[in-house]
A and B are shown apart, each in its own frame.
Chain A
C-alpha cells in the first residue's frame, strides 16, 4: 500500500485534483459573491427608484394626504420582492413621527436614519436585520424630502436582500452538486491520463529488471516516439551497452590475469611433482630449482606490472617530478640494451641524441625507454636494425624507436596498448613479454602528460614515438 502512495501516479493525481479543487471552489465562491453583489445593486436601484418617485409625488403635491400617495405608490413595487415603505416627519418635533407607511409594515417601524447625515437628493443605504419584519436581512434606503428650505420628511423604503427559494440558493445548491461531480470526473480522467503516460515507464522498469550483471545482453525495448520516454530508453540502452562493454573487459582482464599467472604456477607445480617422483642426481635438482626461480621471477614481474598499472589508474601514487636530463637517462638505458641486441644479432643504433630535459620521474622514464627498445629488439629478426632517436621540438621531447621487425597489422594497431594484448600468440613467454609492456609505456607517457604514437607496416617494421612536454 505504501508503494501506491509513493508512486508518481498517485502523487500526480493528488496534486492535479487538489489544484483543480482549489480552482473550482475559488471560482464558485467568486461567482457567488459577484452574483450577490449585483443582486444587492439591483435592490438598491429599485429602492432608489421607488424613493425618488415618492419624493417627486410629495414635492409636487405637498398638501395631498401622504397615505394616499403611498397607497398609489404600491403599483410601482418590485413585483418579486416585498417593499416596505414608511414616511417620517423630521421637520417638526417630535422627530421621527410616522406620517404614513405601507400596508406591509402594519404595526412595525423601520429604524430611523440619523437625520444629520442626510442630504437632499443623496440617498443613504443600510442593511438591517429585523426578524419581526422579514426573516432575512433587509436593505433600507433613506431619502429626505424638503418642502421649501426645510427638510420635512424622510422616506424610508426596505426590501429583503434574500428570500426563500432565492436564485442564489439555487446556485449554491447547483455548485455543491456540480463541483464534486466535476472533481470526480477530473480525478478519473487525470488518473487514466497519467496511467497512459506512465505505461512506457512501467515497461522500462520491467525490462530493466531483467538486466543483471550476469546478463547485460538484454536491451530495453525501443519506443518509436522521439519524446522524453524515447530519449530515456535510448539513454538507458547506451548506458547498458557501456556497462556490458566494461563488464566484458573486466572479465577478459581477470581471465587474462588468471591465465598469465596460472602458466608459471603450472610449470612450478609440474616440475616439482615430476622431480619428486623419485630420487635423482644432484644436477637435476639444481636445474629444477633454477627453473622454479625463473618462473617465480616471471610471476613477480607480472604482478609488479599489474600493480603499477592499477595503482597509477587509481591515482593513489604521487610522483615527485624532478628535472631530469632525458639524454643522460637514454644513454644509460641504451648501453644496457646493447648487450641484449648483440645477443640477438640485431644492430642497435643511437641515431640522434639531443640534449633535452623534462620534469619527470627518472625510474619511470628509464622503464619507458627500456620497454620500447626491448620490444623493438625482441620483434626484430636476426640481422635487423633498431634505431633510437631523442629530439627536441618547441614544446616536446620526442623519443622514438624505429625497427625493421615483424610489424603490426592495421587490424591489431588499436589494441596493442591493451593489457595482455599480444599481436600474435607466438610472442609468448619465450620473448619474456607478459603483454603489459606497452600498456605501461602508455601509462608512463600519460603520467608525464605526454602521448605515444605508433606507425607500422607488417613485415617492414614499426616506429613508436613518445612525446613528452617540456615544462620550464
Chain B
C-alpha cells in the first residue's frame, strides 16, 4: 500500500516515513503544498497524510483541489490546530480523517488501516483467500495453518493483491501501490517478486492462488475460474 506524506517539518515527516516503511508501506514524502498536490495527482496513493500548515499552498487548499480534480485517495489531515471548527473545515474540504499533533504513532497506523479497510468488502484486519490468511495487525501470513515467512516487499505485494482479491491488477498498478517513487520502472522486479511469492505460497499446494493473465497482470483468487 502506498502512502504520501505532505509535511513541511522534516523531522516529523522522517519519523512517519520510517515507521510506515517498517510496516511495509511504500512511502513518499513532500515538504510543501504544491509538491504534495503534484505527487498526489501523479500517482494513485492509497492514503495521503496531509499537514495543514504548509508552505506555498496550505493543506486545506491542497485537499480541496485534489477533490475537485477527482482524486479520491483517503486523506488524513495532520495539524497542531485543535479547534473544532478547524476539524470541521478540514473534513468539509474532503478529508476523511483528522489527527491533531502531537499524536501517538499507533493511532496514526490504526487510522491508516481503517481507511484502507473502508474500500474492501470485509471489515477485519485478517484478509483471507481460500486457506490463505493474512493478518495485517501482526504481520503474519499462514496457509493451511502453517506460517509463511515473507520479506518486506513480498509482504507488501501480497497485501496489495489480497486487498484487491478477485480483481486483476496490472503491473503498473502494483508498482504504484507497492513501491515508492524511487522505483526504477525499467526493471522486471515485479515479475521477480511474484515468482518469490508463488514459491512461498502456492508451492506444494494443488490449489494455486496467484494467477497471471499474460500481458495484463496478476490476480489472487480462491477458485480456478477466470476473472
Chain B interface, >50% SS class: loop
Q: Chain B's nearest CB lies how many Å from the CB of A215?
A: 14
In the complex, are the beta carbons of B53 and A271 less than 8 A apart? no
> Among A258, A267, A425, A429, which residue has its beta carbon within 8 angstroms of that of B54?
A425
Residues of chain B contacted by A268 (CB below 8 angstroms): 102
Pairwise interchain contact B11-A271, C-beta atoms closer than 8 A: yes
CA distance A278 to B23 in the complex (A): 11
A145 to chain B, nearest CB (A): 114
For the complex formed, measure the closest distance between the CB of B211 and the CB atoms of chain A, giving whole angstroms.
35
Q: 1/0 contact trace for A406-422 toward B, CB 8 Å? A: 00000000000000000
Does chain A have a CB within 8 A of B203?
Answer: no
B223 to chain A, nearest CB (A): 38
Complex interface bits, B93-106 against A, C-beta within 8 A gives 1, otherwise 0: 00000000111111
Also in contact, A430 and B102, with CB within 8 A (given A266-B80, A274-B15, A277-B22):
no
Question: Taking A266-B102, A426-B55, A426-B56 as contacts, is the C-beta distance between A274 and B81 under 8 angstroms?
Answer: no
Q: What are the residues of chain B within 8 A of A425 when measuring CB–CB?
A: 8, 53-56, 58
Binary CB contact string for chain A from 269 to 304 against chain B (1 if under 8 A, 0 otherwise): 111011001100000000000010011000000000
Q: Is the interface of A mostly helix, strand, loop or mixed?
A: helix
- Residue in A closest to B23 when the chains form the complex, CB atoms: A277
Number of interface residues of B (CB under 8 A): 26
* Residue B16 is within 8 A (CB to CB) of chain A in the complex: yes
- Residue A166 interfacial (CB < 8 Å): no
Is A265 close to B, CB under 8 A?
yes
Assess whether A429 is in contact with B9, with CB atoms less than 8 Å apart: yes
Taking CB atoms, residues of chain B closer than 8 Å to A277 are 19, 22, 105
Q: In the bound complex, how far is the Cα of B81 from the Cα of A274, in angstroms?
A: 23
**Is A424 an interface position by the 8 A CB rule?**
yes
When C-beta atoms are compared, the residue in chain B nearest to A288 turns out to be B15
Q: Tell me, yes or no, whether B10 is within 8 Å of chain A by CB.
A: yes
Chain B, range 1-18, C-beta contacts under 8 Å to A: 8-12, 15-16, 18
26 contacts between A and B (CB under 8 A): A258-B82, A263-B9, A266-B12, A266-B102, A267-B9, A268-B102, A269-B102, A269-B104, A270-B15, A270-B19, A270-B103, A270-B105, A273-B104, A274-B15, A274-B18, A274-B22, A277-B19, A291-B11, A294-B11, A425-B8, A425-B53, A425-B55, A425-B56, A428-B9, A428-B55, A429-B9
Chain B positions within 8 Å of A, measured between CB atoms, are 8-12, 15-16, 18-19, 22, 32, 53-56, 58, 80-83, 101-106
Which 8 pairs, one residue from A and one from B, show the smallest C-beta to C-beta distance? A426-B55, A274-B19, A266-B101, A266-B102, A262-B80, A267-B11, A273-B105, A259-B80
